[in-house]
Amino acid sequence: MKEKYPYLLVILGAMLWGTTGTAQSFAPDGAHPIAIGAVRLAVGGSALLLIAIWQKKLTRYNWPLKETILATLGMACYQPLFFMAVSMTGIAIGTIITLSSAPIIAGFLEWLFSKKRPSTSWWTATGLSIAGCLLLFSNKGSVTIDPVGALLALGAGVSFTVFTLVSKRILDKQPPEATAAVIFSFSALLLAPALFILDISWIGTANGMAVSLHLGLLATAAAYLFFNKGLLSVPSSTAVSLSLAEPLTAALLGVFLVGESLSPMSWIGVGLLLCGIISLTISPGVRKKTRLMNQELSAKK
């Protein structure tokens, strides 16, 4: 089914991801980042599975095995890679490397495997968004980049990109609800050992329960349902670039909810990010690519 506002759905999903950092700041002390990621997938995967069963979207047939395995591994690897990266090299640098590398990797892989060369307008809008992301975090002070942490962040960017690209192929054969349910349920199973190795007693507190439910239900289940529904009609490389709405949302929430302040340079970054995201949704090149892709999908059906 073709969604009416696919770009808005992808952006909305990314905005919900952007609430993750703010939500984690309310987690009890001692909550290990990897444990938080495992709990997030466990809650989100369970919710997505229940939604797919309730809507009778889940079927045992017509699942592309290779793509399903790759998407599952991509999402399962993204969580620990990203959390370990930010713990080693800092939130700002870890986020910049992960989210800035993902659109470039997505454009290259889509060009390499799908023979779809990114348009000039896509490169321009993506470049604006990446520049905005770099400036957005320019007020975080001096940092020392840990080489291992940087590699982990790059691995997180690759993992998210792989997840998005192969999910796009699964969506050709399965509805968004079933796609998200299967991928996140299997990803949660892969990370389940962390729930037994690490301390998760914090979940029993009021803050711990609230954070777990928010991350699982809103920042995962709802976010990826929106993302997958939009991904039906949006090119993979464009969807990855639009995911840069995540740091934009996180920064604005930090200002208006947590009381953080942004430097003038960071506000310029906010403006560039907005320009890049808006350009991706209205540029003729991207729109033409989307129309061609939808025509191909219609012809297949």
Residue pLDDT, tens place only, 55-76? 999 988 889 999 999 999 999 9
pLDDT score for 288? 53
Structure tokens at 140: 């975080």
Under DSSP, is residue 199 helix (H, G, I), strand (E, B) or coil?
A: coil
**Is residue 23 one of the residues assigned to a domain?**
yes
Classify residue 286: in a domain, yes or no: yes
CA distance 96 to 75: 19
* E-only strand ranges, 146-199: none
Number of domains the chain is built from: 1
Structural domain containing residue 171: 6-292
Q: How far apart are CA 193 and CA 183, in angstroms?
A: 17
Mean pLDDT of the chain: 84
Identify which of 58, 251, 299 has the alpha carbon closest to the alpha carbon of residue 136: 251
Inside any domain, residue 143 = yes
Which tens digits make up the pLDDT trace of 76-132? 999 888 878 877 877 667 777 888 888 888 888 878 777 777 778 888 888 888 888
pLDDT in tens, 126-181: 888 888 888 877 765 555 567 888 899 899 999 999 999 999 999 989 999 999 99
Give a yes or no: residue 1 inside a domain: no
- pTM assigned to the model: 0.83
| Residue 297 forms part of a structural domain | no
